Amino acid sequence: MKTKLQQIYDEFAETYSENRGLFDMTEILDHFYGYLDTKKGELLDLGCGAGEPVAKWFIDRGWTVTGVDFSNRMLDLASKYVPEMKTIHADMSHIEFDKNRFDAITVIYSLFHIQSNSHSDLFNKFYHWLRPNGKVLFTYAVKEHTGNREFDGYKNFMGRNLYYSHTEPDKLYMILEKIGFNIESADYRDSGNEGGIFLWVTMSKP
């Protein structure tokens, strides 16, 4: 059975072509790319949507990309716009991969749609899936976006109420460091696309 959030993203897919090019993340991806030890590798893009801009950016640079999303309609678009990407229809909370499989993982504008008390389990999975020296780039909701240091509720985006959940940054950093990640950068950015400021974190597995 589809969740309400899945239904909303399926509906967003209907107007996706009208908004192509809205999400220009060139500067952010260039910055993340500078942290990577390998310039061609295997990327896992969680919440990949239609494969743009993240998956396409990496594929254009010779990477192999696996994209995971819970919206079938978004994945249909991905097969059209980024046919080189391997797609998996799944909720990122429930998927499993082999240990040390990926050189990099991206989780852009998607992690905060999952209840924050589950984030630690997901970060542990990321650590398990990454190869040594692998990197993760993810966006995290913060007070500047939701109005609260910790939040578990709904906010309007493009006329729809979307579920958001996050803890405060200091607690987030403690969780990541306890797992074993090194935090390479943590920047507050207003990309202008999702309607507010988010925390962009790059972290590495030693």
For the chain, list the strands marked E by DSSP.
42-46, 64-69, 86-89, 102-107, 130-141, 151-157, 160-166, 182-190, 197-204
Q: In whole angstroms, how far apart are CA 64 and each of 25, 57, 122, 133, 136?
A: 19, 11, 22, 18, 16
Q: In whole angstroms, how far apart are CA 154 and each of 52, 96, 117, 185, 189?
A: 25, 28, 16, 28, 21
List per-residue pLDDT tens for the chain, 206 residues long. Answer: 447 766 767 666 667 656 655 667 899 999 999 999 998 999 999 999 989 999 999 999 999 999 999 999 889 999 999 999 999 999 999 999 999 999 999 999 999 999 999 999 999 999 999 999 999 999 999 999 999 999 999 987 777 788 999 999 999 999 999 999 999 999 999 866 555 899 999 999 99
Q: How far apart are CA 80 and CA 17, in angstroms?
A: 11
**What tokens appear for 183 in the block?**
């935090």
User: Which residues neighbour 192 within 8 Å (Cβ) at sequence distance 6 or greater?
Assistant: none
Per-residue confidence (pLDDT) for residue 193, from 0 to 100: 55
Per-residue confidence (pLDDT) for residue 159, from 0 to 100: 74
Local structure of 5: helix, strand or coil: helix
For the packed helices 119-129 and 169-179, what is the interaxial angle rounded to 10 degrees?
40
Per-residue confidence (pLDDT) for residue 46, from 0 to 100: 98
Per-residue confidence (pLDDT) for residue 82, from 0 to 100: 96
Per-residue confidence (pLDDT) for residue 156, from 0 to 100: 79
List, in order of start, the domains of the chain with CATH numbers. 4-16+23-204 (3.40.50.150)
In contact, 122 and 93? CB cutoff 8 Å: yes
Cross-strand pairs, 166 = 151
Place of tokens 């589809």: 2
Distance between the two ends of the chain, CA-based, in angstroms?
A: 39
Rg (CA), the chain: 16
Per-residue confidence (pLDDT) for residue 1, from 0 to 100: 40
CA atoms within 13 A on the CB side of 161: 4
- The DSSP letter of residue 91 is -
